[in-house]
Amino acid sequence: AEAAWSITAAIIAGGSVTVFLAVIVCLFGVIICLFCGDGVNSAAELSISEAVYAYQEEIADAAARYGISEYIQLIEAVMMQESGGRGTDPMQASACGYNTQYPDGITDPVYSIRCGVHYLANCLNATNVESLQILSTCGSHCRATI
């Protein structure tokens, strides 16, 4: 509270020009928020490549195997972020502790998916995540701890 009063006092001490600029900056921020929204429906955020979609069956199988079938969209998003679905290690799981078959780098995409999904399942279980609904409702600005 004291810091807020200090900032307010500094703005007022700067005179009417400083107050005017502070109001303009605040209004500009509000306008950006109104027109840009929270990003939930942004095409860039929702875009999953065809290369990732090509692995839908493998993703679903691995998700079922590790008990996280409700997180298929999250798995697709992780793969999209890691590789865009390209290469022989689309989940970038070579360094993962679950990779016991390819110590020099995974060369089997299906195995990569299994390792990556296994790792993700253990992360979700370790944090006792029950739902990612909070992430889908607060958009790209969400800083929730899952």
Q: Domain segments of the chain: what residues?
A: 2-36, 44-141
Position with higher pLDDT, 40 vs 28: 28
Kindly state the average pLDDT of the residues 108-136. Answer: 82
- The domain 44-141 is placed in CATH, from the list 1.10.530.10, 3.30.70.270, 3.40.50.10070, 3.40.50.1580, at 1.10.530.10
Q: Is this structure's pTM higher than 0.95? A: no
Tokens (6 digits) for 123 = 């992360």
Which residues neighbour 107 within 8 Å (Cβ) at sequence distance 6 or greater?
Answer: 88, 89
pLDDT in tens, 47-70: 899 999 999 999 999 999 999 999
